[in-house]
Structure 1
């Protein structure tokens, strides 16, 4: 399928009097935006074609849902008051932008050398990262936001699936609710896992939709964790970090795992 054919296909699916589409031949992209506000998003057509060749119409349907939901969010004014139960922390890599494309500064908090905490307002099918402007309009400060988000993340389920490999226990949380990696911020849960660990406790947040907890009981366990984390990192929709984290004295420290060796901090 050519880019022009894919362009036509997407335009048919996104036919709406309120939308405007424009094709950039040089960059091979299609932009969809609201006519009035001119807010929108730009899609790389070669990337869409690759997904279409791999997964067929399902890939296009998922993209259509993503685009319409993103446009809906852009066209709404959101508020925090009254929606406190819908505020959660989200984990991102330290290289993730701390400002929106419009220059709005996002609310963040330091976490580890590899990860940073952002805050999100859950909107159902998606969420919006909270910026300083939204916080100021509500008359909130970052401390209150963090307190609410931290409370809410502790309410999320923490029932992992277990897998034992080479006498090492690995636990996975992958509920697909958008906040799997965020569960690393549940201190009580980490303390419980640490108390029950037979060996050293390590964790990994390779991407947004998984939290890996490893009870490392021999040297092989480190190699397995490193390979597992890299694999998840490469496959993740929103990658975070390929480095595992050692949990010790209620602190998380990124580690480099050398093949057939113990980790180096």
Structure 2
């Protein structure tokens, strides 16, 4: 399937009289927006096609749901003050836009060389990224938003599944609440995990709906983590990074894993 075919499928599934569609062939992107408000969402098609190759109709069904909920969120009147207990941090790649389609800057925080922190207002089935316009309407500051978000993320479950391969243990946090990768900002959780592991702790956030923690005891563990992270990255609805991180003294340091050799990013 190519981008034009995927575009045609999505347009057919999402069409109604209140929406317009714009296909950017050069960027392989489809934009869906409200004719009335001129607000909408832009999606990159190759990632959806990659998921379709493995999951077929399930991938399309999930993307249609994601887009529908995103459009509802854009139209919804959001109040931070009324929902302060529903503000959460979300992790994105550093290539993710730092402003909305209306060119209003999002509230962000530096994280690693590969990732950036955004802040979102949870709306139930989806969330809305907090921008300067929303912040100013409610007379908040970036610091207050950050403090509320980090407080709230610590309240989320950290229940994990685990698997052992070649002596290495891999833990997976996949609650599908939209904030699985965000748990990487729970410092106490990471610290407690590190203290309980036998080997070197490595962390991966390949997409927003999974957090991987690895207890690496041999070189094979790094190879397995690299393959696993790339697989999750390629199949994620909102990809973040295919790189993994070493956890050292409370900090995350990106690493390149090549064959049986590991090289830290300088």
Q: Please classify the TM superposition score into its range, dividing by the shorter chain length.
A: 0.7 to 0.9
Partner SS, residue 113 of structure 1: coil
Partner residue in 1 for 2:209: 209
**Aligned mates of 2:245, 2:50 — CA distance in 1:** 34
Question: Does the 8 Å contact 1:7/1:30 carry over to 2?
Answer: no
Partner residue in 1 for 2:156: 156
Question: Does the 8 Å contact 1:119/1:129 carry over to 2?
Answer: yes
Within-5 A mapping of 1:7-18:
10=11, 14-15=15-16
Per the normalisation by structure 1, the TM-score is 0.85
Partner residue in 1 for 2:38: 38
Equivalences, count: 263
User: Which of the two has higher C-alpha Rg?
Assistant: 1
**Aligned mates of 1:23, 1:98 — CA distance in 2:** 22
Query: RCO higher in 1 or 2 (8 Å CA, sep ≥ 6)?
Result: 2
Partner SS, residue 82 of structure 1: helix
Note the aligned Cα RMSD (angstroms): 3.2
Per the normalisation by structure 2, the TM-score is 0.85
Question: Does the 8 Å contact 2:22/2:32 carry over to 1?
Answer: no
Partner SS, residue 81 of structure 2: coil
**Aligned mates of 1:62, 1:256 — CA distance in 2:** 31
User: Alpha-carbon deviation of 1:211?
Assistant: 0.6
Gaps of 5+ in 1: none
User: Alpha-carbon deviation of 1:33?
Assistant: 3.7
Partner residue in 1 for 2:123: 123
1:50-91 C-alpha deviation (Å, 9 max, x unpaired): 988986765565454334323222222211002011110001
Gaps of 5+ in 2: none
Report the CA distance shift for 1:149/1:168 in structure 2 as closer, same or farther (over 3 A): same
1:143-171 C-alpha deviation (Å, 9 max, x unpaired): 11111000111111111111111111110
**Aligned mates of 1:224, 1:67 — CA distance in 2:** 33
Report the CA distance shift for 1:112/1:32 in structure 2 as closer, same or farther (over 3 A): closer
- Which stretch of structure 1 is more off in the superposition, 67-76 or 96-105? 67-76
